Structure 1
Amino acid sequence: MTTLPAAPAVPRAPEQTGRFWADLRRHGHHPAVVTDAADGGTLSYADLADRVDALADRLGPTRRLVLLAGGNDLDTLVGYVAALAGGHPVLLLPGDNAGHVDAVVAAYDPDVVLDGDGLHERRPGTRHDLHPDLALLLSTSGSTGSPKLVRLSHTNLASNAGAIASYLGIRRTDVAATTLPLHYCYGLSVVNSHLAAGATLFLTDLSVVDACFWEAVRAHRVSSFAGVPYTFDLLDRVGFAGMDLPSLRYVTQAGGRLAPERVRAYAEAGQERGWDLFVMYGQTEATARMAYLPPDLAVASAGAIGVPVPGGSFRLEPVPERPLSARDGDLTVGELVYRGDNVMLGYATGPGDLARGREVHELRTGDVARRRPDGMLEVVGRRSRFAKVFGVRVDLDEVERLYGDRGHVVHVADLGDRLLLGVDASARPADPEELRAVAKEAVGLPRTAVDVLALPEVPRLPSGKTDYRTLVALAGSGARAATTADPAAPGGGRDDRSAALRAALAEVLGRDVTDADTFVGLGGDSLSYVEASIRVEAALGTLPAGWHTTPVGELAGRPATPARRGRTLETNVLLRALAIVMIVGTHANLFVAVGGAHVLLAVAGFNFGRFHLTDAPRRERVRHVLGSVARIAVPAAVWLAGVALLTGDIGWRNVLLLNGVLGPTSWTEPAWWYWFVEVLVWTLVALAGCLAVPWFDGVERRWSFWLPFGLALAGLLTRYDVVELSAGDEIHRGTVVFWLFALGWATVKATRLRHRLLVSAVAVASVPGFFEDGPREAVVVAGVLLLVWLSSVRVPDVVARAAAVLASASLYIYLAHWQVYPHLEDDAPLLATLLSLLAGIVFWKVASRAGNLLGTHAGPRPKPRARASQV
């Protein structure tokens, strides 16, 4: 392990230290912000402080989670600083992606939303447990497609702003143009460092290719701007190196590796024109910057990331899986590990994580670096950017450099069993055979191990970095150029995704679908969700959070991302599939694994809370619940009527799903076989009646977790016989087992850690002793805990599809298996199990098809297909 010394301390002026958001007025009437006249003209620091104070007052004294969705404009800047000044953790998002904003709102449930339409207070006070150090939440690496966020503290922001202002030597007279989005950590660091130094921001969303941008640069005497590698591609197009910009002092570059020859060229151009080039290195997880290359070394040490920022340090940790290459020679190589006050608190994947404090003390960057003979650090790849193809271990970043040495602009991705070469056709036409020949010569891969994709435009993240996920998705969408070099190959655009999504939902739900529709709004429920989620993931490459309540048009507007190996399988779906197999296999004497039906009750409660308790009006909620009741009760009644007519084993009480109320009090076969369906139907009917009462509906909206949790506690009164509502068989009666349904409902509303702990505690405490059967009780407890703590798993595609079919058909399997397995359980239990499952799947397919045919003749907006909604 090699430890690299920290850079020498750089003296900081007093105005470059401290928390800038609380220090605005000290800069008095010096210009803080310059904008277009229509957006406010010039604001002094005093003016900015007035606006910040006014908004901070509106946000109130109670710390709340503020979601800020905006752009490079004054309102966004004021909202950001006001949240910090008021002590409110702020979740910063781009304002031009409504679908993503809605998904994050659904995932994190902010107390306040600030966007282009103003301040939207979703509730007084807060429902979150917010750690005192938490200040800012940002998407990782400039990505806007994931609910995973970086948690940053006030110390992180202040220390990194001060360090950047110090090594850049930012002056009060400097004016920085906002050439990068404010929601991107690099763009935000420009704001933070200049406000910390008392300098001026030129707020703009103009591109560097716009002529009016350069007019504004001259008019406002802009002294600096920031760029990612793609920005420098655009600068090349407009002839930036030859521009006369007398006010320009320096240009900064980060957000990805700029080729050494380009670093030299820009550094030399700057020397001729009187400005400096600062090459910088950072990650969102380090607030922004971790290293910089001093301008006087940019020519001699092009390719290096330089030295740590003031207050930071690096060490290199060995990477066993990466052997030294010829480029490395005998230099020290390892993973770059950074330590400093700007290292994040940790990650967040849901609102419960917002209560966490510091969990990270040093940042494992994932970058593989080497220490050069001149003492500078140079990043040579990513630990995650390795692939194994045909038994050959391949460094994807090294392959990109090899092609770059031969004059090709190639972006390399891993397709599992082969490499994908995404070729920038605007730089040089893609010749698949030539590119494959290079792979064989330089990497040792056979031609069949290389796919070539001609790109009329390289997909990029908001940070400007190559979007490898979308690259892989484009390859899978039919845009692959394995035998041709057509630069106009299709790219799976928004219209294609919209058509695919509408077709998928129409097929699953049996309804006409428009871009304005949502899955839930179309009558989608828990079983149709399973099949629909598989198809949505196939169309988009991933399964966005909250997709089931997001309009189709907004989903289609998101950039496609590549499907990773396997599929995302939600835990409730997996539990449904496992539970129905357990039920059938146990009844058929294949094995003994009891408890599946009671796990399904908790899953049913989970899905009730998820699909029926949306923000829809009360009457629509009631209609949705009753629709699900019909989609369970109708096929069940039809099947049971047929059984009654053909066998005479059951009577009208079973057909009407009233055996639990009017039938024998103790377990009697076959009368009690269908207890689960009865419990589910009448539980939903009762809850529909409750939701029809305005008071109950209002309580649910205000106390979305505490209502079902309270009902679960109330349900324990019958579970422990404090209140006796029935006699005889208790473990199969709805009035007794309701507490399990309510626990599942509370689980989906458990947005905080303490909520999850409470649900877990009740499950662990209340299930033992109920069945007087240890293994069964362990199964039920495990099922509830999995619902609470594990939202999804990644499984092979074949497992996901099998689970999806079993979960979707679970109601029909439950109904049908009673007529199949008894004939085979003694002699062929495996065959009895398989045929029972198959019979239920066939029943499901026939019922679905019948429902679809009936729906398509009902008018322009047919009814949903007949489907079970909860089992």
Structure 2
Amino acid sequence: MEAERARPVTIPSDSRPDIPPLPSPFAPFRPARPASGRRVRERFAGLFAPPSTGPSVPGGATTAGGGQPCAEPRTVPFARNLAAFGDRTALITEDGELSYRQLAARVAETAERLGPARRLVLLAGANRVDALVVYLAALSAGHPLLLVPGDSDSTLESLTAAYAPDVVAVPRQAENGTTTWALDERHPTSAHTLHPDLALLLSTSGSTGSPKLVRLSHDNLQANAESIASYQDIGDSDRAATTLPMHYCYGLSVINSHLLRGAGLIVTGRSVADAGFWELFRAARGTVLAGVPYTFDLLDRVGFEGMRLPELRRVTQAGGRLAPERVVRYAELGRRAGWELFVMYGQTEATARMAYLPPRRAAERPQAVGVPIPGGSFRLEPLDGPDGTGAPDTGELVYTGPNVMLGYAETPADLALGRTVGELRTGDIARRASDGLYEIVGRRSRFAKILGLRIDPQRVEGLLERHGVRAYCAGDDDALAVAVASEEGAEADASRVRRLVADACGLPVRAIRVRVVPDLPRLATGKPDYEAVRRLTRPAAEPSRDSARNRPGEATTEELCRLYAEILDRRDVTEDSSFVGLGGDSLSYVEMSLRLEEALGTLPADWHTTPIRELRAPGPSPTPRPARRRRTLETGIALRAVGIVLVVSAHIPVYFVQGGAHVLLGVAGFNFARFHLTDAPRGRRVRALGRSILRIAVPSMVWLAFALALTREYDLANLLLVNSLFPQDNSHPEWRYWFVEALVHFLIVLTALLALPLLDRAERRSPFGFALGLVALGVIGRYDPLGLAHVRFHLSPTVVFFLFALGWAAARARTVPRRLLLTAVLLATVPGLFPGAEGQSLRTVVVVAGLALLIWVPVLPSLDPVNRLAGLLAGSSLYIYLTHFHVYPYIRDDSPVLALLVSLAVGVMYGSLATRLMRCAPRWLDRRRAAAFVQAPGTR
């Protein structure tokens, strides 16, 4: 059992960052220790001298091992001296600003709570003010900090088990729904022997969750922050956004270097693909953007090139190789827009950075990583054996500098060690060009031996890139695993990739496993996830269909992946996948949301755009899970279920309450914005929209063909869903399927519009503004000034489009003023839409109430049986609408209620059949294409 465990202590939340709590009068700020002559020389004259490589005595005279407080603990100066910048703005969030003086007060109070005895503190990192306060408090008070990803339960649990931290700082969900940070004190004094130089423990790239950690000292952190601030010329007027995870050394270096210079940090967890990020960045007058290669993919998608960012001064890139042509493009873009591009190179073992490419050289030397950072130096160690290339000025890159780690830790006993390395063997193969710039040409540790041949996966990636194919490659036993981005092609391209790789490497095709995926797998830091590449290309194991259901609220990430794979019929699901990223739409959304709520216990907001690995709440649960959970039902699902029942009931009639179909149009627009307007590239967006149109149109046309053969009530215009485009005679059958026609017409037109680069960029830059523009167009159509409406005015696509647009805008309205605006439009436009007086006031109330719920209320309280029934009806609503016209006439004279129930049941059955057939069709077509490709003469 652990030592007595103190009750968790909640630290100040960042819910009101502009009014920080004052530190206790009995715990004044810890005064800065007077610098001795030696420390002055270290900080200024000798800051960039190579570290000492002499032996270090574990647990020296000043160590706090065993929980004994140091008389004078070593600390990190930039964390200790925050108050020196006074009232300058330190942190900017969506809720307000925090000055350096206020930040220092919160850091001091948290440091007091950590106590004077050095203890190992585990922090679940997140781009939040609370997490940053704990980080700075530990550094300023001399407590070694183990920084882990706050969005990975498995990593948090494994490192907690491996290192038994004395204090655990994790986010906790309060009863009112807000998130607060808490200090869970597990040992009053440290259970470990902690070396006095130890300041920070980080996972290496690709080893998240592994017990192998990088040990960094106080001097490592200070020196690297000083060096980065120096070559980037960071000033106190700079404001950098937290575009990268805090637990990632690159993201952390942005924080450290800017705090060191008294600059501002824009603290946000939003992605650069989120319009809300750019609203905050502009409002905060952001000057610095940092990104890994994947970040630049997202910048391309959101139209960064056309953005107006007058305050932007610096864009920095690290975390992997950015293709030279993209370096040139961004360098030229920066030159035109007035900002500089810094391409950098680093490793966690070097705290963060080792080299940078001067911005003026980026366009002419885009393949280089540049020169060593101030105070650092490189040497090239000749390569022996099969790695040797024989090329001059080429070898393994070895780095020396004050930012080189103390060494690795693999067990708690290693926390007592001092410096065990004096230089860093990077594992990268590099060459020094004649102009003095270094270039990375390979990676020793990535070499794979396959069937006796030594293969460099990085060179294979470069080969495929030259052929226009984006791919990640990794060795896996006796095969080369290759993951290819699907935007580069489909099944036939997998064969092409195999041939390209086989010809270049001399491998047989059978030794190359290729998997086409929608997005290349990446770690949370944005770096390539090569383990996922190996896993994706292996034959898939049969999933357990109901494993996530059997333990409600306790599903593992692996079980969630299986659940997504089952419902979306995808084989490429990874923990970084999201519902919309996998092509989920409104037809699969209902089943996914209900099954996911069963698996998670509660359904997080915006779960459909959240990666699977982030779905489970981080941190251990503070209280045992209650036996019964309060269930909720998303308003959109409830409206779909109620709406379709109202439609069928009014047609029989069981009870004559109209307006359900018009509410369903608003819900369709709401779902369109949620599931189709993702951050995917324009081409992928358009293809996904095309597939959704087919999923609606094909089952509709098949049923209409059956109805035409059965009743002869329809004609070719009905069958092709173009009836509203021709003159009407007001006969009853011809307008029955107005709803399906309108929906298909809307989707086709919007797909065509969003295929235009100009409109695609406009929607990404201002999602709500774009939707509001469509609402304005829809309102004009609502009053039909051009006389386009057919004889049944309120069923004409041009008239009812404003309801679809209102639903779209509701999905984008995240603030109260925007919702008030949409409500005002709703109240002004729906009255008078429906003809006649009798019963139309009730119809108007139904439509207004339904769409107002969609705008204002995201979820409704519910029960398990209600959720299951609503999910079944909502998921089959389209098919119920299609079939009910040809079911209830045979039964209603005997029993209207029975006619209603049978109509609903037939629609559910047709929906199940249609869904299965539509899922099987792509596989059948793929097999036909593959067979034709194999049988084609002259091919292999």
> What TM-score do you get using the length of structure 2 for normalisation?
0.50
Aligned position for 1:310: 374
- Percent identity over the alignment is 55
Aligned position for 1:29: 87
Aligned partners of 1:71 and 1:94 also within 8 Å = yes
CA distance change for structure 1 residues 497 and 63 in 2, over 3 Å: closer, same or farther? farther
Whether 1:145 aligns to 2:209 is: yes
Query: Distance in 2 between the 1:296 and 1:256 partners?
Result: 21
Unaligned runs of 5+ in 1: 1-8, 480-491, 503-511, 519-538, 542-551, 561-614, 618-871
Cα shift at 1:474: 1.8
Query: Distance in 2 between the 1:438 and 1:424 partners?
Result: 16
Indicate the larger mover: 94-103 or 217-226: 94-103
Aligned position for 1:288: 352
Query: Distance in 1 between the 2:43 and 2:369 partners?
Result: 18
CA distance change for structure 1 residues 517 and 257 in 2, over 3 Å: closer, same or farther? closer
Unaligned runs of 5+ in 2: 1-41, 48-74, 173-181, 557-572, 576-598, 602-610, 615-621, 625-940
Q: Secondary structure at the match of 1:453?
A: strand
Aligned partners of 1:11 and 1:166 also within 8 Å = no
Whether 1:462 aligns to 2:524 is: yes
2:426 to 362, 365, 378: 365
Aligned partners of 2:151 and 2:613 also within 8 Å = no
Pairwise mapping of residues 418-567 of structure 1 onto structure 2 (< 5 A)?
A: 418-429=479-490, 431-478=493-540, 496=543, 516=554
Query: Distance in 2 between the 1:281 and 1:10 partners?
Result: 24
CA distance change for structure 1 residues 379 and 500 in 2, over 3 Å: closer, same or farther? farther
Aligned position for 2:276: 212
Q: Which amino acid aligns with 1:353?
A: D
1:659-704: CA deviation from partner (whole Å, max 9, x where unpaired): xxxxxxxxxxxxxxxxxxxxxxxxxxxxxxxxxxxxxxxxxxxxxx
Aligned partners of 1:331 and 1:372 also within 8 Å = no
Q: Secondary structure at the match of 1:357?
A: coil
Query: Distance in 2 between the 1:66 and 1:243 partners?
Result: 41
Cα shift at 1:497: 7.7
2:339 to 272, 275, 278: 275
Aligned position for 1:164: 228
Aligned position for 2:150: 95
Query: Distance in 2 between the 1:145 and 1:288 partners?
Result: 19
Cα shift at 1:97: 1.9
Cα shift at 1:441: 2.3
Query: Distance in 1 between the 2:613 and 2:284 partners?
Result: 35
> What TM-score do you get using the length of structure 1 for normalisation?
0.53
Q: Which amino acid aligns with 1:91?
A: L
Q: Which amino acid aligns with 1:228?
A: V
Q: Secondary structure at the match of 1:252?
A: strand
Aligned partners of 1:56 and 1:82 also within 8 Å = yes
Aligned position for 2:314: 250
Cα shift at 1:558: 8.5
Q: Which amino acid aligns with 1:219?
A: A
Aligned partners of 1:142 and 1:462 also within 8 Å = no
Q: Which amino acid aligns with 1:453?
A: R
Aligned position for 1:828: none
Aligned position for 2:365: 301
Please give the root-mean-square deviation of Cα atoms over the aligned residues, in Å.
Answer: 3.1
Aligned partners of 1:142 and 1:463 also within 8 Å = no
Pairwise mapping of residues 650-661 of structure 1 onto structure 2 (< 5 A)?
A: none
Query: Distance in 1 between the 2:366 and 2:385 partners?
Result: 27
Query: Distance in 2 between the 1:248 and 1:303 partners?
Result: 24
Aligned position for 1:46: 101
CA distance change for structure 1 residues 203 and 142 in 2, over 3 Å: closer, same or farther? farther
Aligned partners of 1:409 and 1:428 also within 8 Å = no
Aligned partners of 2:464 and 2:471 also within 8 Å = yes
1:125 to 186, 189, 199: 189
Aligned position for 1:6: none
Query: Distance in 1 between the 2:433 and 2:43 partners?
Result: 23
Pairwise mapping of residues 680-695 of structure 1 onto structure 2 (< 5 A)?
A: none
CA distance change for structure 1 residues 442 and 478 in 2, over 3 Å: closer, same or farther? same
Q: Which amino acid aligns with 1:157?
A: L
Q: Which amino acid aligns with 2:496?
A: E
Q: Secondary structure at the match of 2:123?
A: strand
Whether 1:19 aligns to 2:81 is: no
Aligned partners of 2:482 and 2:537 also within 8 Å = no
Aligned partners of 2:344 and 2:355 also within 8 Å = yes
Cα shift at 1:513: 6.3
Query: Distance in 2 between the 1:290 and 1:167 partners?
Result: 12
Query: Distance in 1 between the 2:364 and 2:103 partners?
Result: 42
Q: Secondary structure at the match of 2:441?
A: strand
1:15-60: CA deviation from partner (whole Å, max 9, x where unpaired): xx972011111111111111111xxx11111111000000000111
Cα shift at 1:143: 4.1
Indicate the larger mover: 160-169 or 205-214: 205-214
Aligned partners of 2:398 and 2:426 also within 8 Å = yes
Cα shift at 1:371: 1.4
Aligned partners of 2:159 and 2:209 also within 8 Å = no
Query: Distance in 2 between the 1:130 and 1:82 partners?
Result: 17
Aligned position for 2:110: 55
Pairwise mapping of residues 59-98 of structure 1 onto structure 2 (< 5 A)?
A: 59-98=114-153
Indicate the larger mover: 382-391 or 280-289: 382-391
Aligned partners of 1:10 and 1:310 also within 8 Å = no
Q: Which amino acid aligns with 1:311?
A: G
Cα shift at 1:98: 2.5
Aligned partners of 1:143 and 1:461 also within 8 Å = no
1:75-118: CA deviation from partner (whole Å, max 9, x where unpaired): 00100000011110011112222232122111111111111131
Query: Distance in 2 between the 1:500 and 1:394 partners?
Result: 39
Aligned partners of 1:12 and 1:166 also within 8 Å = no
1:466-503: CA deviation from partner (whole Å, max 9, x where unpaired): 10111111222529xxxxxxxxxxxx9xxx4896799x
Q: Which amino acid aligns with 2:240?
A: A
Aligned partners of 1:99 and 1:558 also within 8 Å = no
CA distance change for structure 1 residues 362 and 23 in 2, over 3 Å: closer, same or farther? same
Q: Which amino acid aligns with 1:286?
A: A
Aligned position for 1:577: none
Query: Distance in 2 between the 1:457 and 1:76 partners?
Result: 30
Query: Distance in 2 between the 1:354 and 1:11 partners?
Result: 29
2:401 to 340, 349, 352: 340
Aligned partners of 1:161 and 1:192 also within 8 Å = yes
Aligned partners of 2:245 and 2:252 also within 8 Å = yes
Query: Distance in 2 between the 1:143 and 1:497 partners?
Result: 28
Aligned partners of 2:76 and 2:140 also within 8 Å = no
Query: Distance in 2 between the 1:424 and 1:540 partners?
Result: 14
For these two proteins, the number of residue pairs brought into alignment is 492
